[in-house]
Amino acid sequence: MSTQVLDARAYQVHVGDVLDELDQFITKNYPDHTPIILGDSNTLAHALQLIDFVGVPSLKEAEVLEVEPGEDSKEIEVANGLWQAMLDLGANRKTLLVNLGGGMITDLGGFLAGTYKRGVPFIQVPTSLLAMVDASVGGKVGINLGKSKNQVGLFLEPVAVFAHLPFLNSLPVRERIAGMAEMIKHGLIADNDHFAQVMSLPEELDENVWLEAIHRSVSIKEAIVRADFTEQGDRKKLNFGHTVGHAIESWSQQRTPMLHGEAIFVGMWCETWLSHRFGELSEVDRNEILNALSTYLPEIALSQQDFEEIFYWMRSDKKNTSALLNFTFLLAIGNSKINVELTQDQVVESLESFINR
């Protein structure tokens, strides 16, 4: 496997077989810094073990901070414990935080790095597919506030991102499929070739085709972020599938919890349907997309009785400010537009169609 490097705003994203490059980057740019690795028990058991096995000299002596896996670790009590642990380790501005994990770790670790002693440099080393193609790029880091996601955080960029593809071998398949939701989203909103590329990915992992696809997905997100870092306009394209998807994700938590990406598959189904019904997406494109998404839709027991709660969640979303609900619409496969406003009744139609699909 080779590697590919892409220039993000102020840092580089390395994708592929990148542990040597990670080592060289640290040695060259942070020779006088002390690395601290942050991970959860899964990513330390798998990804750190691989790092130790391969041998990354600059990380050999690193201290390791461990949190429980899962979204509950992305919260202030855990952050508090980690700030204290860093203090106890004598961490200072010459500390380099290496966030080794999925999006939970890259968000939490970026937040820690941005706030501890007013900021220490950090490297994102994503280990899940979702973190590689989405969470580790784009410069948003933060934690949750109770059940409300990502309410406290920063726009803050790492000094580099290293996405080492062999980490994906230990990632559960369910998590990998959830990560593919965001890749498909990138294709749908901005690049029809990428959509086709993701739909034809082989199941086995260590292939250069996966490298190409992940690299392309990151490039798409990066280009959108670069043009609108603080989300005043076109960055909202990345919310495609998320108005309905976030509400479905929240609704599912009290029932059979869905992974974020799983809920986004449902959200993209509904929002594709809406893009044709109330927008300019052709019937041919709609059918092609719905057909593609149907391969990945999770089992979900949704009925009319759930709509009230779904809309409760949709209204608590910070994107929906007025009586209307805000959407990104597809214009075609690979093209989209932001700020389409719909009434609740219009959105109900898509949920009904989803149930009757």
Ligand X SMILES: NC(=O)c1ccc[n+]([C@@H]2O[C@H](COP(=O)([O-])OP(=O)(O)OC[C@H]3O[C@@H](n4cnc5c(N)ncnc54)[C@H](O)[C@@H]3O)[C@@H](O)[C@H]2O)c1
Where do contacts with ligand X occur on this chain (CB under 6 A)? 40, 42-43, 46-47, 69, 71, 74, 101-105, 107, 127-128, 130-131, 134-135, 138, 140, 149-150, 167, 170-171, 175, 260
**Residue number, 167 or 273, with CB nearest to ligand X:** 167
Please give the DSSP secondary-structure letter assigned to residue 46. Answer: I
> What residue number has its CB nearest to ligand X?
103
Write down the least CB distance from residue 264 to ligand X, Å: 10
CB-wise, 81 or 90, nearer to ligand X? Answer: 81
State the DSSP string of 160-212: EEEEEGGGGGGS-HHHHHHHHHHHHHHHHHH-HHHHHHHHT--SSSSSHHHHH
Residues ≥6 apart with Cβ < 8 Å to 96:
26, 30, 33, 34, 35, 36, 120, 121, 122, 123, 159
User: Whose Cβ is closer to ligand X: residue 106's or residue 350's?
Assistant: 106
Pick between residue 179 and residue 279 the one whose CB is nearest to ligand X. 179
CB of 356 to ligand X, least distance (A): 30
Instruction: Kindly tell me which of 128 and 243 has the beta carbon lying closer to ligand X.
Output: 128
Tokens describing residue 45: 């058991």
Residue 217 Cβ vs ligand X, minimum distance, rounded to whole Å: 12
**Taking CA 213 as the corner, what is the angle to CA 156 and CA 167, rounded to the nearest 5 degrees?**
70
Nearer Cβ to ligand X, position 37 or 290? 37
Cβ neighbour number for residue 22 with a 10 Å cutoff: 21
CB of 261 to ligand X, least distance (A): 7
Q: Are 317 and 246 in contact (CB under 8 A)?
A: yes
**Least Å distance between CB 73 and ligand X?**
8
Minimum distance, C-beta of residue 14 to ligand X, in the bound complex (Å): 17
Q: Decide: residue 343, CB within 10 A, 0-12 exposed, 13-18 middle, 19+ buried.
A: exposed
**Of 78, 66, 79, the residue nearest 38 (C-alpha):** 66
